[in-house]
Amino acid sequence: MADGPRAVILAAGNGTRMRSARPKVLHALGGRSLIDYSVELATEVCGRRPLVVVSPLQPAVAAHLDGCADVVIQPQPLGTGDAVRAVPAAFRKPGPVLVLNADVPLLRRETVDRLIDAAMGHACALLTVKDVEKRGLGRVYRNAVGDVECIVEERDLVDGAVVPDECNAGSYVFDGSRLWPAIERLTRDNVQGEYYLTDVVALLDGPVAAVLTSDPGETLGINDRRQLAAAEAELRRRTLDRLMLAGVTIEDPATTYIDALVEIGEDSVVHPMIVVRGATHLGRECEIGPMAQLTDVRGGDRLHIGASVLEACELGDDVVIGHFDRVRPHSRLHSRVSLGTHAEVKNSTLGTGSRVGHFACVLDSDIGQDVNIGAGAVTCNYDGAVKHRIAVEDGVFVGTNATLVAPLRLGAGSYVAAGSLVNQDVPAGALAVGRARQRNIEDWAVRRRRGDRG
């Protein structure tokens, strides 16, 4: 693989059209940063880290790329050609050079492979697209034998000129031995006063091939937030197709929002109005929603997840999450755990087969196996300064509406009576009753009616 192309990714533009304090290439797409897509693709194709051209005004980009790519700074954003001029001499080898715009994230691997093949015997091969909303794209002029003669940026088109419907998609494979001398001959004699990489096409010594893609979606460039939303929709469509072809039923793709890296196992069913984000991986035969929201959830097989919100947690097989529950980060629910309705779990472990009833709240706790946390039971962990933990050993039964005050340990098989406030450890097998004894006042109601409350 070491002989594969070297990749240069252009990411040093100002991204002005995004109207954002955040660098354009760090905006989120499908749960990842825009730039991750081109970096991953280039790494896959080339078998080594790409070189990313970054702006000195956007240190967050280099920080984000730490370890995944080499970076070089383009001192000023003088255009895409100038960005390529920033590539240091040590990188400038004779072999093939893949150049990608970092703001074109949905390019497919097969397409880059086609470009590499087409570049053989040429000074360059570039990707083109037709039938797109062409706003802002460079137009590709071919000669009689079909090679590319030049690219004219939209803003530089002269009135009355013949305008081809073929556009430049911003992905190129150059022959390094011809690119590097030509790049130094660029001028900024154009409407924007920039060094255009596209102008190098006419300066190269040798023919330039164009590879026309039949899928305009993969050439979507992101310059403003409307295009970001368009790319998000395109990526979502791809992700849903991937999952459906892998055996997941998606009842209503139009209301299903699943990030690019999400995995869901075969024979799972996804009901409408679902948002699944980040690095969520679920096993087979799961049933999700309607109206669930999952972020970074690692789950096993046969999960049932109702209209609940789950974040950064791990679920074993056969876990049942009811409706309106919230599972917050650092929670681990082992197999067959079930949550009722309106339950909350945070920073806690629940052992195999344990159940949490409706309106119960389990925070900062280590709960053993086959424990019953009754409806409305709450843990009290925070003393105003420190959060203390609660340990509940196997087989404990916590009655409805119990209040468990940390630090606390409930021994194996112990019981907590309903309505108790428990702030002392309970030995294994004991019953804790922490509540006022009930008294019945005879005839109280009769006397009240008479006005005699004594």
Task: Provide the annotated active-site residues.
Answer: 358
Burial (Cβ within 10 Å: 0-12, 13-18, ≥19) of residue 88: exposed
Q: What are phi and psi of 328, to 5 degrees?
A: -95, 170
- Measured from the CB atom, is 62 or 78 closer to ligand UD1? 78
Contacting range for Ca ion; rule: CB under 5 A; set: 49-57, 177-185, 222-230, 264-272: 222-230
Query: Closest residue (Cβ) to ligand UD1?
Result: 138
Strands 51-54 and 70-73: parallel
Shortest distance, position 155 Cβ to ligand UD1, whole Å: 9
- Measured from the CB atom, is 74 or 268 closer to ligand UD1? 74
Contacting range for Ca ion; rule: CB under 5 A; set: 40-48, 101-109, 203-211, 358-366: 101-109
Shortest distance, position 318 Cβ to Ca ion, whole Å: 48
Q: Which of 5, 221, 399, 411 binds Ca ion (CB under 5 A)?
A: 221
For residues 202-223, one letter each, b for 16 or more C-beta atoms within 10 angstroms of the residue's C-beta and e for the rest, the string is ebbeebbbbbebeeebbbbbbb
Among 85, 99, 108, which Cα is nearest to 7's? 99
Strands 372-373 and 320-321: unpaired
Site string for Ca ion, 180-209 (x = CB under 5 A): ------------------------------
Contact 70, 51 (CB under 8 A): yes
Contact 142, 164 (CB under 8 A): yes
- Measured from the CB atom, is 48 or 85 closer to ligand UD1? 85
Shortest distance, position 213 Cβ to ligand UD1, whole Å: 12
Among 340, 387, 346, which Cα is nearest to 360's? 340
Shortest distance, position 162 Cβ to ligand UD1, whole Å: 17
- Total residues at the site for Ca ion (CB under 5 A)? 3
Shortest distance, position 220 Cβ to ligand UD1, whole Å: 8
Contacting range for Ca ion; rule: CB under 5 A; set: 42-50, 71-79, 96-104, 327-335: 96-104
- Residue 103 interacts with Ca ion (CB under 5 A)? yes
Contacting range for Ca ion; rule: CB under 5 A; set: 111-119, 223-231, 263-271, 322-330: 223-231
Residues that bind ligand UD1 (CB under 6 A): 10-13, 53, 74, 77-80, 82-83, 101-104, 136-138, 151, 153, 167-170, 196-198, 221, 223
Q: How far apart are CA 6 and CA 335, in angstroms?
A: 47
- Measured from the CB atom, is 76 or 143 closer to ligand UD1? 76
Bridge partners of 432, per DSSP, are: 416
Shortest distance, position 104 Cβ to ligand UD1, whole Å: 5
* Residue 11 binds which entry of Ca ion, ligand UD1, none, CB below 5-8 Å type-dependent: ligand UD1
Contact 70, 52 (CB under 8 A): yes
- Measured from the CB atom, is 198 or 381 closer to ligand UD1? 198
- Measured from the CB atom, is 51 or 426 closer to ligand UD1? 51
Taking the alpha carbons at both ends of the chain, their separation in whole angstroms is 94
Shortest distance, position 369 Cβ to Ca ion, whole Å: 55
Shortest distance, position 101 Cβ to Ca ion, whole Å: 6
Would you give the DSSP letter of residue 182?
A: H
Alpha carbon distances (Å) from 4 to 127, 170, 291: 19, 20, 46
Which residues of 296-337 form beta strands (DSSP E)?
298-299, 304-305, 309-311, 313-315, 320-321, 326-327, 331-333
For 176, the token pair is 């390094």
Give the chain's count of helices (H) and strands (E): 8, 41
- Residue 153 interacts with Ca ion (CB under 5 A)? no
Contacting range for Ca ion; rule: CB under 5 A; set: 71-79, 219-227, 358-366, 441-449: 219-227
- Residue 23 interacts with Ca ion (CB under 5 A)? no
Among 362, 364, 332, 323, which Cα is nearest to 350's? 332
Contacting range for Ca ion; rule: CB under 5 A; set: 92-100, 127-135, 221-229, 420-428: 221-229
Query: Closest residue (Cβ) to Ca ion?
Result: 221
Q: How many CB atoms lie within 10 A of CB 143?
A: 11
- Measured from the CB atom, is 223 or 341 closer to Ca ion? 223
Supply angle C-alpha 297, 314, 264, rounded to 5: 45
Q: How far apart are CA 35 and CA 250, in angstroms?
A: 29
Among 17, 6, 15, which Cα is nearest to 58's? 15
Binding site for Ca ion (CB under 5 A): 103, 221, 223
